[in-house]
Chain A
Amino acid sequence: MNAYVMLGVFQTSQKLRTSLRLLSRAGLPPVDLQVQLLLRGRSPLSATFSRKLHLGPDGPASSPAAAPRRLPFSRVTVEDLTFFRKTLPGRAITDPDLVQSSNEDWLKSVRGSSEVLLRPQTTQEVSQILSYCHSRNLAVNPQGGNTGLVGGSVPVYDEIILSTSLMNSILSFDKISGILTCQAGCVLENLSLYLEERDYIMPLDLGAKGSCQIGGNVATNAGGLRLLRYGSLHGTVLGLEVVLADGQVLDCLSTLRKDNTGYDLKQLFIGSEGTLGVITAVSILCPRKPKSVNVVFLGCETFDQLLKTFQLCKGMLGEILSAFEFLDSECMRLLNTHLKLANPISDCPFYIVIETSGSDSDHDSQKLHNFLEEAMTSLLVTDGTVATEESKIKTLWSMRERVTEALTHDGFTYKYDISLPVERIYQLVTDMRQHLGKRARSVVGYGHVGDGNLHLNVTSPAKDPALLASIEPFIYEWTAKFQGSISAEHGLGLKKRNYIYYSKSRPAVAVMGKMKTLLDPKGILNPYKTLPDDLK
Chain B
Amino acid sequence: MSGRVLVGVKRVIDYAVKIRVKPDNTGVVTDGVKHSMNPFCEIAVEEAVKLKEKKLVKEVVAVSCGPQQSQETIRTALAMGADRGIHVEVSGNDYETLGPLQVSKIMAALAKKEDAQIIILGKQAIDDDCNQTGQMTAALLDWPQGTFASEVTLDGDKIKVVREIDGGLETIKINTPAVLTADLRLNTPRYATLPNIMKAKKKKIANVKPADLGVNLTSKLEVLRVEDPPQRQAGMKVETVEDLVGKLKESGKV
Contact = CB atoms under 8 A, between A and B. Distances in A.
A391 B76 CA distance: 14
Of B15, B16, B194, most A-chain CB atoms within 10 Å: B194
A304 B22 CA distance: 51
A174 interface: no
Contact of B201 (A291, A369, A390): A369
A297 B192 CA distance: 11
Contacts of A373: 198
Given A369-B201, A373-B198, A391-B36, A386 B192 contact: yes
Interface stretch (A240-248, A327-335, A376-384, A465-473): A376-384
B227 to A, nearest CB: 20
A418 to B, nearest CB: 31
Contacts of B193: 345, 383-385
Contacts of B224: none
Contacts of B32: 291
Contacts of A342: 188
A369 B198 CA distance: 8
Contacts of A394: 16
B191 A344 contact: yes
A391 B192 contact: no
A463 interface: no
A372 interface: yes
B214 interface: no
A387 B201 CA distance: 16
Nearest to A388: B36
A386 B194 contact: yes
A390 B191 contact: no
A381 B192 CA distance: 15
B14 interface: yes
A369 B35 CA distance: 20
A390 B194 contact: no
A391 B15 contact: yes
A351 B66 CA distance: 37
B17 A390 contact: yes
A389 interface: yes
Nearest to B34: A390
Given A385-B191, A386-B192, A390-B36, A372 B14 contact: no
A383 B201 contact: no
Contact of A345 (B16, B35, B191, B201): B191
Nearest to A385: B191
Interface in B182-201: 188, 191-195, 197-198, 201
A392 interface: yes
B197 A389 contact: no
Contact of A389 (B14, B188, B201): B14
Nearest to A291: B32
Contacts of B192: 385-386
A371 to B, nearest CB: 11
A381 B15 CA distance: 31
Interface in A323-363: 342, 344-345
Interface in B9-50: 14-17, 32, 34-37, 39
Contacts of A376: 194-195, 198
A390 B37 CA distance: 11
A390 B198 contact: no
Contacts of A345: 191, 193
Nearest to A365: B72
Contacts of A384: 193-194
A388 B15 CA distance: 13
A381 B32 CA distance: 33
Nearest to B36: A389
Contact of B194 (A291, A383, A387, A392): A383
Nearest to B195: A376
Nearest to A384: B194
A401 to B, nearest CB: 15
A372 B36 contact: no
A342 B201 CA distance: 27
A372 B16 contact: no
Contacts of B35: 389
A394 B15 CA distance: 12
B15 A385 contact: no
A8 B25 CA distance: 69
A394 B17 CA distance: 12
Interface in A375-414: 376, 381, 383-392, 394
A386 B36 CA distance: 13
A392 B195 contact: no
A381 B36 contact: no
Contacts of B195: 376
A376 B114 CA distance: 35
Given A390-B34, A392-B36, A385 B194 contact: yes
Contacts of B37: 389
A98 to B, nearest CB: 16
Given A390-B15, A391-B16, A391-B36, 12 more contacts: A291-B32, A297-B191, A345-B193, A373-B198, A381-B194, A383-B194, A384-B193, A385-B192, A386-B197, A390-B34, A392-B36, A394-B16
Interface of B: 14-17, 32, 34-37, 39, 188, 191-195, 197-198, 201
21 contacts: A342-B188, A372-B197, A381-B194, A383-B193, A384-B193, A385-B192, A385-B193, A385-B197, A386-B194, A389-B16, A389-B34, A389-B35, A389-B36, A389-B37, A390-B16, A390-B36, A391-B14, A391-B36, A392-B36, A392-B191, A394-B16
List the 10 closest A-B pairs by CB distance, nearest first.
Answer: A389-B36, A390-B16, A385-B191, A384-B194, A344-B191, A390-B14, A391-B16, A389-B14, A390-B34, A391-B15
